[in-house]
Amino acid sequence: MATDTRGDPETVSARRRGLTRRPAATPAERSRARTAITLTGRGGAVVVLVCTLLGAVIGGMFGLRSAQGLLFVVGCLLAVLATRRTDLLTLVVSPPLLFFLVTLMSALTGSIGEKSFLLSTAVAVAAKLTSSVPWLFVGAVLVVLIAVPRGLPANLRDLSARVAADNPFRGRTSLRGRKKNQDDDPVRWDESPGGRLPAAKAPPAEAPPAEESADE
């Protein structure tokens, strides 16, 4: 009696029905699937905010002036690499605003108890932003350079298409063009709230004079 050496009866029947089994994932593939993290645009902004805030706290505790800027750049790098492609536009415009927000919070906290609270806060914010210009520039440029090949131009095209689709004046004739069309049309119609008025009836044509009879 001949035996089938290609597998057990269940495997043979599955092959006959045209069914195929998906191969099991390798340990490397399972590891990549577990470590792959995808963030939304808001999630990427939160990463930048947390890193910058942590840098401000470390700088205040240990007197490291560059800690906030350094961790800001690290947060920008992590966020732009982990944010999904469709939300890159949201992330690109967020880092400078988040850095300013953390700087303002740090200045407000450090100005508590000062005689001139507002003046002290303004001076602290101005000094911090002035000394952090290189870090701001590096972080913003790094985000843009990484976001462009990841799909930032496609986000800009989608935004332009949505703005054009939501334009309420799209497809309407301008007032100048409407006035020109009215001047070119010699026939005018008076309009009323109920609609156009019917055209005036033309006067009846006069009957031709009757021919004199031959008797006269």
> pLDDT tens across 118-135, in order?
999 999 999 999 999 999
Inside any domain, residue 44: yes
Closest of 114, 102, 76, 92 to residue 41, by C-alpha: 92
Summarize the confidence of residues 181-210 as an average pLDDT.
Answer: 53
Number of domains in the chain: 1
What's the confidence (pLDDT) of residue 181? Answer: 53
Residue bearing tokens 């806060």? 121
31 pLDDT band (50/70/90 cuts)? very low
Q: Is the pLDDT of residue 205 over 70?
A: no
CA dihedral 55, 56, 57, 58 (to 10 degrees): 50
Q: Give the mean pLDDT of 127-154.
A: 94
Q: What pLDDT was estimated at residue 79?
A: 95
* Residue 211 resides in a domain: no
Structural domain contains residue 113: yes
Chain centroid offset of residue 116 CA: 41
What residues are paired with 192 via a beta bridge?
195
Could you report the per-residue pLDDT of 90-119, keeping only the tens digit for each?
999 999 999 999 999 999 998 888 888 999
Is residue 144 in some structural domain? yes
Q: How many CB atoms lie within 10 A of CB 208?
A: 6
Question: Is the pLDDT at 138 greater than 90, yes or no?
Answer: yes
Residue 146 lies in a domain: yes
Report yes or no on 61 lying in a domain. Answer: yes
Whether 5 is in a domain gets the answer no
DSSP 191: E
Whether the predicted pLDDT of 59 surpasses 50: yes
Element (H, E) at 195: strand 195-196
Q: Which pLDDT score, from 0 to 100, does residue 183 have?
A: 52
What is the chain's mean pLDDT, rounded? 76
- φ, ψ of residue 87 in degrees (nearest 5): -115, 15
Q: What percent of the chain stands above pLDDT 90? A: 49
| Mean pLDDT value of segment 167-188 | 55
Kindly state the helix (H) or strand (E) to which residue 216 belongs, with its residue range: none
Q: Which structural domain range is residue 137 located in?
A: 37-161
pTM score, two decimals? 0.63
**Residue 168 vs residue 203, higher pLDDT:** 168
> In this structure, how many other beta carbons lie within 10 angstroms of the beta carbon of residue 82?
16
Instruction: Say if 92 falls within a structural domain.
Output: yes
| pLDDT score, position 34 | 45
Closest CA to 71 of 47, 55, 92: 55
